[in-house]
Structure 1
């Protein structure tokens, strides 16, 4: 099977069938598929999330997708942070675009990262690598991933689970927007407290 045929295989029906086939492993397939996407960004995360919502229901489907995707993002971040001095990553660090991105991440912190990770089609693999190469605090990034992924995956899960309700009941769409604001505000509050503690210690 060539790469094109491999990508063509990924349809909602095939992914749901795959999850059902390995249902004896419990939620493991639903967690592993989004986790793998963090390491193999050509895999369709949006399809995995919507398939999980169909296979496990909205609540559990969202939770398994969020857990897998968040763990994958944090693992990539930690691996890059740990091995950032290797030859491959030194090559990336010399790239001017990567340097400007890492500087941007270090200066801006939680807020922009959270917003970026809220959107389904943000190249999260690049965000994970750049954040790992930067000097951003690991806890800042962890909160941005947990919050941003929650918003993005809940939105995709909701669409995949009941797209008709999303169109016919705009109140539910409003709830998603409110959740984004609450998570963003909470994240900024946590970031502010962390900066104050760091300044006090300094």
Structure 2
């Protein structure tokens, strides 16, 4: 299994190095991942760091993915808002997340973007639909994406040591488990806040109806 993983990473690095444009290819790969979220962002970040070094790899991955996310945000907000709103009405999962992010602070949203087990593409769509100010969105997404890029760039820059060291592999596995647990915990907190907010609104509506003369 480790040999297969090592060969896959080597092939990905060689593929990045073979692309024309040099570092522009390292910028383009994470940019495309933001538009097509089925692409493996974690592997792209790690391959960038292994190919271009830690600092340049972080810069390329962060700027590329952030620019792609901004493009998606702007496209949904200014071009595809109506069809996306109709799509939102048909998907309970999207409404579920909308209720949770509607009143979050930029710092909380940034932390949300830093978790690899959270559907960040869906978060981007929803933030565009609620018309979050572009500047606030860039701050939140930029902060969160920088965290995840730095973490996996460290792994990519030292990927051979990680593969060859059982201890580092164990720490990597533990890190992923911790991030997953944080994701689930944050999701539960947001769920409770959303339910509490909805109950307060329902109570307020009932009080208003009682006070309204017939």
SS in 2 for 1:20: helix
In 1, the alpha carbon distance for the partners of 2:142 and 2:84 equals: 28
In 1, the alpha carbon distance for the partners of 2:120 and 2:8 equals: 21
Report the counterpart of residue 199 of structure 1 in structure 2. Answer: none
For structure 1, the 5+ residue unaligned runs are: 1-7, 174-202
C-alpha displacement of 1:89: 3.7
Report the counterpart of residue 46 of structure 1 in structure 2. Answer: 42
Alignment of 1:118-129 (within 5 A): 118-129=114-125
Once the two structures are superposed, residues 61-91 of structure 1 have per-residue CA deviations (whole angstroms, 9 ceiling, x without a partner) of 1100001111111111111111243335422
Report the counterpart of residue 143 of structure 2 in structure 1. Answer: 147
- For the 8 Å contact 1:74–1:142, the answer to whether it is kept is yes
How many corresponding residue pairs? 160
Report the counterpart of residue 12 of structure 1 in structure 2. Answer: 9
Change over 3 Å in CA distance of 1:87–1:135 after alignment to 2:
closer
Q: CA RMSD in A?
A: 2.6
In 2, the alpha carbon distance for the partners of 1:13 and 1:57 equals: 15
Alignment of 1:1-202 (within 5 A): 11-22=8-19, 24-162=20-158, 164=161, 167=168
Report the counterpart of residue 179 of structure 1 in structure 2. Answer: none
C-alpha displacement of 1:95: 3.6
In 1, the alpha carbon distance for the partners of 2:21 and 2:85 equals: 36
In 2, the alpha carbon distance for the partners of 1:94 and 1:83 equals: 19
In 1, the alpha carbon distance for the partners of 2:42 and 2:121 equals: 14
SS in 2 for 1:136: coil
In 1, the alpha carbon distance for the partners of 2:81 and 2:65 equals: 25
C-alpha displacement of 1:93: 3.9
In 1, the alpha carbon distance for the partners of 2:78 and 2:45 equals: 29
C-alpha displacement of 1:41: 1.2
Once the two structures are superposed, residues 9-56 of structure 1 have per-residue CA deviations (whole angstroms, 9 ceiling, x without a partner) of x9312221111112x512111011111111211110000000000100
TM-score (norm 2): 0.66
In 2, the alpha carbon distance for the partners of 1:25 and 1:85 equals: 34
For structure 2, the 5+ residue unaligned runs are: 176-214
- For the 8 Å contact 2:50–2:158, the answer to whether it is kept is no
C-alpha displacement of 1:145: 1.0
Once the two structures are superposed, residues 113-166 of structure 1 have per-residue CA deviations (whole angstroms, 9 ceiling, x without a partner) of 111111233222111111111232221111011111111101100111126599
